[in-house]
Amino acid sequence: MSRSPLFFFQNFVVFPLLVIPAPFQKEDLDGGVQAAFPLLPLVVAIVGRNEENLKQVFAECKNNGRKYLMIVADLVKEEDVKRTLDNTISCFGQLNILVNCAGILAFGTIETTSLEQYDKVFGINVSMSKSALDKLTKCTALELASKQVRVNSVNPGVIITEIHKRAGLDDEAYAKFLERSKETHALGRPGECDEVAKTIVFLASDESSFITGALIPVDGGKHVMCPR
């Protein structure tokens, strides 16, 4: 590839190399992203906190015959971030593309959310300050443009994954949540993992070589609605 894209992926990695950090599960968005990247000529480092889930995804990745590196790390910890970077470059010699798709959910209100809960969610996925991440994407894109590094943000709507159940929704509550999504998304449905993953693959390829600083909604039109 002639250029090296870098992404900030909201809500919720290098080419020849890709790093995907996340608490991997096959049913989650991060699993969908790693499944889509075989469309490009990559070697891949996958990173996650849950070793068992990471091993499952790693085993499936190896089936396509490419070279992969598995790193167990908690990206909230600065020393783990440094170790991830060092191990990746030591193994592959370079880091070209980063897809940040780590994410958790926690339920609460301004009155009931503890500082510990706030810090945990903010530290992992910045989902409580999406506007700040949008600004960071634009500023980073400007700063790195002279180096031909592209920075874009993919902003999803409701995507069918396991993250909401891990946050505490039971099957009934989750079904109601997805049903409600038919009203909150202009296209009348929640999204699928591969719909987001294919957008990331496009941005990681030379097909998007003149795109940087973009905030791309993959949300079924949710961003143009004001539902209550």
CA dihedral angle for residue 93, residue 10, residue 32, residue 94, rounded to 10 degrees: 0
Phi/psi of residue 49, nearest 5 degrees: -85, -35
Whether residue 178 has pLDDT greater than 90: yes
Whether residue 35 has pLDDT greater than 70: no
Query: Domain 4-222, what architecture?
Result: 3-Layer(aba) Sandwich (3.40)
pTM: 0.68
Label the pairing between strands 43-48 and 17-21: parallel
- Say what the pLDDT of residue 6 is: 41
How far is residue 81 CA from its own chain's centroid?
16
- Say what the pLDDT of residue 166 is: 81
